[in-house]
Amino acid sequence: MNNVILIRFNEIHLKGGNKKYFTKLLVNNIKYALHDFECKIENIQNRIVIRDYTDESGIIEALKCVFGIHSISPAIELDNDPKLISDFVATIKVEGGFKCDVNRADKTFPIKSNDFNADLGEIVLSNNKNAYVDIHNPDTVIHVDIRENGKTFIFHEIIYAYSGLPLGENRDGLLLLSGGIDSPVAGFCMAKRGLRQDILHFDSFPYTSPQAKEKVITLAKSIKKFIGAKYMYICSMTKLQEEFHVSCASEYAINLLRRSMIRVANKLCEKYKYKTIITGESLGQVASQTIESLTTTNAVAEYPVLRPLISFNKDEIIEIAKEIGTYETSILPYEDCCTVFLPRNPVIKPKIKEAEFEESKINLDYLISAVIDNIEIIKL
């Protein structure tokens, strides 16, 4: 009899011929998430089992951040032997309504699920005077998962993780991370679909403070476990913003800044082989997030720009930010480069031609190259 942690996955089951590949990815990601813990990881058919561990709660917390995992259960592992299973069930203490839930994946197991449910239910009743059977609304469910590898897992607790798809091997995405609430959530949402990402942040020192930069580094470190980030690029937009401020129409300032952010992201995608850019924009949230503003920004994008929060309300975004632990950092009151030189009347329906005209007043290519040349790269 062993104490183990049982891991189930769901969407991977739909992957047909690619199931093996996705399972391998998931196992590798679990290995990485648990690399600081003492434990062994075993991949059995349709389940992953963690054994020989000491820190159960630490491991469960780490597993909850691994996409592709549907749910986790601390369990007892026995051989597929009706007597061993019955003897163990006889030791379980139950109060109130309960039911047994036998899953007979091992079709060679001699007793059919329904019959075994009834047998085990009798055993529980005869050993617990305050227990009664309640099929529809039980306080306790005794799960008995009889697997094809000759092992049975008995558990009552099911801890849900985020499901989704395991992070891919390559860091394909470049997440534009500000200090706000939205962009960490955007990174989380895309990672849930298996997109591994690195991080790009723009500051505007000395208009933005070192504390503002530290705050974003803290955010980056706290979402790293979800998005699989290894590198964070920090670029200074100071010179560009000063030029826009001096030479260009002030109502286009944010628009020009956003186009510059995408241009810098294009260059990094090209240099480091990222395939897509991710932002935390949500339709209509601010002037720079109208359809016209997004169109003006998209016009300079050379890679797909993914905006997972486009249809989210702010309260929905905040709920996720709280859930993933970024909210408290995001609301620290430091300025972002977007709030520096903020125009009084930002244009709500910008036009690509107008943006291009404003950009023609400065030496944009030179300024963008200077941003790239002075990039700071942090290993997370």
- Residues at the site binding Mg ion, with contacts judged by CB under 5 A: 178, 180, 336
Distance CA 198, CA 219 (A): 13
Q: Please state the closest distance from residue 349 (CB atom) to ligand ATP, in A.
A: 16
CA count, 13 A, side-chain hemisphere, 102? 22
- Minimal CA–CA distance to 238: which of 335, 317, 166, 152? 335
Asked if 350 is part of the footprint of ligand ATP (rule: CB under 6 A), the reply reads no
256 binds, among ligand ATP, Mg ion, none (CB under 5 to 8 A by kind): none
Asked if 285 is part of the footprint of ligand ATP (rule: CB under 6 A), the reply reads yes
Q: Please state the closest distance from residue 200 (CB atom) to ligand ATP, in A.
A: 6
Q: Please state the closest distance from residue 265 (CB atom) to ligand ATP, in A.
A: 9
Residues 254-283 that bind ligand ATP (CB under 6 A): 279-281
262: number of Cβ within 10 Å: 21
Sheet holding 376-379, edge to edge: 305-306, 276-278, 171-176, 196-203, 231-236, 376-379
Asked if 142 is part of the footprint of ligand ATP (rule: CB under 6 A), the reply reads no
Asked if 173 is part of the footprint of ligand ATP (rule: CB under 6 A), the reply reads no
285 binds, among ligand ATP, Mg ion, none (CB under 5 to 8 A by kind): ligand ATP
236 binds, among Mg ion, ligand ATP, none (CB under 5 to 8 A by kind): none
Asked if 215 is part of the footprint of ligand ATP (rule: CB under 6 A), the reply reads no
Considering only 42, 292, 319, 336, the residue that binds ligand ATP (CB under 6 A) is: 336
By three-state DSSP, how is residue 228 classified? Answer: coil
Q: Please state the closest distance from residue 255 (CB atom) to ligand ATP, in A.
A: 11
336 versus 354: smaller Cβ distance to Mg ion: 336
By three-state DSSP, how is residue 140 classified? Answer: strand
By three-state DSSP, how is residue 141 classified? Answer: strand
Asked if 177 is part of the footprint of ligand ATP (rule: CB under 6 A), the reply reads yes
Per-residue binding letters, 186-205, with ligand ATP (x by CB under 6 A): --------------xxx---
* Contacting residues for 366 by C-beta, under 8 A, at least 6 apart: none
Q: Report how far apart, in Å, the C-alpha atoms of 108 and of each of 87, 103, 104, 263 are.
A: 20, 13, 9, 61
Beta strands at 47-51 and 2-9: parallel, antiparallel or unpaired: antiparallel
Considering only 181, 262, 305, 320, the residue that binds ligand ATP (CB under 6 A) is: 181
Asked if 286 is part of the footprint of ligand ATP (rule: CB under 6 A), the reply reads yes
Distance CA 61, CA 320 (A): 17
Q: Which stretch binds ligand ATP (CB under 6 A): 75-83, 148-156, 157-165, 330-338?
A: 330-338
Considering only 80, 178, 236, 296, the residue that binds ligand ATP (CB under 6 A) is: 178
Strand partners, 153: 77, 145
